[in-house]
């Protein structure tokens, strides 16, 4: 038997947050049929036991190694019976039947492959999700800090759509992977997530492939969730920063021309080099551990990119990296 939506939650050391996520789904999802599939990516904090011990209706898969966010979601999709797939982070809380609302919206918009919802910080403020595809222009603007100086500009803030308050239905390039409802028919057409993206970039690549196949990516503001953000990746902040930047280059290498990729690598090197002097100076003056860590991160980025390439820029020990995004 099929269900309306298969909710796939990839867990890696998120502790009690997983319990809160599961409780919110079970208590605040109505008018639709659903199943919950938890893929535990070799957690060491026993957070996977929460699903096994307290939520008997959850389908739990325990991985002995962490193969990454994309691979774990693909495991769940292969098991799923839903006509929709919801990729949901474990550090989220569903508000006011958000899943049911998004499914109802999706039923009214058969042209949409992917639908996202409004995401809030724990204090209730807006967490800006949805963004544009990586490009040379967007990479230049992010490298030069211009997007932070003019965040609400339609030009300088274009990558993160800083002028938009996420209060209207919009067609977008990318829906952030913390809450991502995907139509089964679209997956059957374009395929699963690309597992070469270990963590970060996989939803960007997926949305890009859906759009090229003629589907739309929509944002729906009337459904809301809370996202704590980065509960896995903050455990490996340095490597995850490099993983994020490497995933951008990985996307450009896959979908753009070779000259564009070479220019993107130069812009990424510039991204690291323009930030290093400030943080190195800050560390010398303050001896702050955070400044030291950030300085080392940018130095690693500058070193790895020209000598090791995109794969070297990403985390060396991928099996140790968390699956959730900030």
CATH number at residue 223: 3.90.550.10
In-domain check, residue 113: yes
pLDDT in tens, 144-172: 888 888 989 999 999 999 999 999 999 99
Structure tokens at 67: 């193969």
> In the Cβ-directed half-sphere of 107, how many Cα atoms lie within 13 Å?
10
Residue at which a domain ends, from 179, 207, 227: 227
- Confidence grade of residue 137 (pLDDT, cut at 50, 70, 90): very high
- Please give the model's pTM, rounded to 2 decimal places: 0.91
Mapped onto helix, strand or coil, the DSSP state of residue 63 is strand
pLDDT of residue 325 exceeding 70: no
Q: Which of 187, 273, 260 is nearest to 5 (CA)?
A: 187
Q: Same domain, yes or no, for 173 and 251?
A: no
Does 320 or 196 have the greater pLDDT score?
A: 196
pLDDT in tens, 214-258: 999 999 999 999 999 754 445 456 677 888 899 999 999 999 999
In-domain check, residue 108: yes
Q: Same domain, yes or no, for 105 and 252?
A: no
Q: Same domain, yes or no, for 268 and 220?
A: no
Does 209 or 314 have the greater pLDDT score?
A: 209
pLDDT of residue 17 exceeding 90: yes
pLDDT of residue 308: 63
Full domain range(s) for residue 54 = 3-130+166-227
Tokens 């996520």 appear where? 21
- Confidence grade of residue 315 (pLDDT, cut at 50, 70, 90): low
pLDDT of residue 307: 66
pLDDT of residue 109 exceeding 80: yes
pLDDT of residue 117 exceeding 90: yes
Residue at which a domain ends, from 195, 227, 259: 227
Q: Same domain, yes or no, for 290 and 192?
A: no
Between CA 96 and CA 216 the distance in angstroms is: 25
The answer to which of 27-41, 61-75, 218-232 has the lowest mean pLDDT is 218-232
**Residues written for the chain:** 326
Phi, psi of 244 (to 5 degrees): -60, -50
Q: Same domain, yes or no, for 206 and 99?
A: yes
Between CA 128 and CA 269 the distance in angstroms is: 26
pLDDT of residue 326: 41
Give 146: exposed, middle or buried? Use CB within 10 Å, 0-12, 13-18, 19+.
Answer: middle
In-domain check, residue 136: no
Q: Same domain, yes or no, for 245 and 178?
A: no
- Average pLDDT rounded to a whole number, residues 15-31: 93
Q: How many CB atoms lie within 10 A of CB 219?
A: 23
Q: What percent of the chain has pLDDT above 70?
A: 92
pLDDT of residue 265: 93
Mean pLDDT of the chain: 90
pLDDT of residue 1: 65
Phi, psi of 90 (to 5 degrees): -75, -15
User: Strand pairing of 92-95 and 34-41?
Assistant: unpaired
Between CA 207 and CA 26 the distance in angstroms is: 28
- Average pLDDT rounded to a whole number, residues 266-294: 93
- Average pLDDT rounded to a whole number, residues 105-114: 98
In-domain check, residue 148: no
Q: Same domain, yes or no, for 195 and 217?
A: yes
Question: How many independent structural domains does the chain possess?
Answer: 2
Which residues, 6 or more positions from 247, have their beta carbon under 8 angstroms from its beta carbon? 197, 198, 199, 200, 201, 202, 204, 314
Give first-to-last CA distance, the chain, whole Å: 35
pLDDT of residue 323 exceeding 70: no
- Confidence grade of residue 48 (pLDDT, cut at 50, 70, 90): confident
pLDDT of residue 146: 86
- Average pLDDT rounded to a whole number, residues 293-314: 82
Residue at which a domain ends, from 210, 227, 244: 227
pLDDT in tens, 274-286: 999 999 999 999 9
Tokens 């109802």 appear where? 104
Q: Same domain, yes or no, for 98 and 76?
A: yes
pLDDT of residue 319: 41
């Amino acid at each position: 038997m099929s269900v309306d939506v298969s909710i796939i939650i990839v867990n890696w050391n998120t502790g009690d947050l997983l319990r809160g996520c599961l409780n919110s789904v079970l208590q605040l999802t109505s008018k639709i049929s659903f199943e919950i599939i938890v893929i535990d990516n070799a957690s060491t904090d026993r957070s996977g036991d929460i699903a096994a011990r307290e939520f008997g209706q959850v389908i739990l898969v325990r991985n002995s190694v962490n193969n990454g966010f994309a691979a774990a979601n693909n495991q769940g999709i292969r098991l799923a019976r839903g006509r929709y797939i919801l990729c949901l982070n474990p550090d989220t809380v569903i508000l006011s039947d958000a899943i049911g609302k998004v499914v109802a919206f999706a039923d009214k918009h058969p042209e949409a492959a992917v639908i996202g919802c409004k995401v809030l910080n724990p204090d209730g403020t807006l967490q800006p999700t949805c963004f544009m595809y990586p490009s040379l222009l967007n990479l230049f603007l992010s490298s030069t800090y211009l997007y932070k100086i003019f965040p609400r500009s339609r030009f300088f803030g274009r990558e993160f759509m800083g002028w938009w308050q996420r209060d209207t239905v919009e067609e977008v390039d990318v829906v952030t992977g913390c809450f991502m409802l995907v139509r089964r028919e679209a997956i059957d057409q374009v395929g699963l997530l690309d597992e070469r993206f270990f963590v970060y970039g996989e939803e960007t690549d997926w949305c890009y492939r859906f759009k090229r196949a003629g589907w739309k990516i929509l944002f729906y503001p009337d459904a809301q969730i809370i996202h704590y953000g980065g509960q896995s990746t903050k455990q490996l902040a340095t490597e995850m920063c490099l993983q994020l930047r490497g995933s951008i280059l990985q996307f450009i290498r896959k979908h753009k021309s070779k000259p564009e990729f070479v220019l993107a690598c130069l812009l990424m090197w510039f991204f690291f080099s323009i930030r290093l002097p400030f943080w190195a100076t800050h560390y010398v003056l303050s001896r702050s551990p955070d400044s030291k860590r950030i300085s080392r991160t940018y130095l690693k980025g500058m070193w790895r990119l020209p000598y090791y390439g995109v794969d070297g820029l990403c985390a060396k020990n991928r099996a140790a990296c968390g699956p959730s995004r900030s």
